Amino acid sequence: MSDLDLMVVLVPWRLHEDVVDALMAFEGVSGFSAVEAAGFSREHSHFNAAEMVDGARRFTRFEILHAPEQRQGILAEIEPLVGREHVRYWVVGRVETGRLGTSEH
């Protein structure tokens, strides 16, 4: 078992590049994953017209393995980029990590 947590952050698609840049510059995070996600909600007041037609908002889902003591620093890097957007995150503690396969053939 490792001492890493998994932070998942849902960021509006228009902030994708800014958040990628911020995470790449953050010391101590060796990497992260980012995938496109569709967010569904009963609260449509913050959807734009296209999102109301689709019934979903377009997000990037960032997954960041990090040491617990890095959490506040990571959030502090992302928060100034958010402005008035709705950004949700959650953290799953004590993630086991490993690698499969080998580079030797």
Say if 9 falls within a structural domain. Answer: yes
pLDDT in tens, 89-105: 999 987 787 888 877 65
Mean pLDDT of the chain: 84
8 Å CB contact between 9 and 36: no
- Using CA atoms, how far residue 71 sits from 6, 18, 36, in Å, is 10, 18, 22
Dist CA 3 CA 5 (whole Å): 7
| 86 domain-assigned | yes
Considering its fold, how many domains does the chain have in total? 1
In a domain, 100, yes or no: no
pLDDT tens for 35-45 read 999 877 656 55
Domain interval for residue 59: 4-95
25: in domain: yes
Task: Give dist(CA 86, CA 96) in Å, integer.
Answer: 30
Tell me whether residue 101 is in a domain: no
> For 48-64, how does the pLDDT look when each residue is reduced to its tens digit (9 = 90+)?
555 554 567 789 999 99
Q: Is residue 19 part of a domain?
A: yes
Strands 4-12 and 88-95: antiparallel
CATH number (domain holding residue 73): 3.30.70.120
Rounded to two decimals, the pTM is 0.79
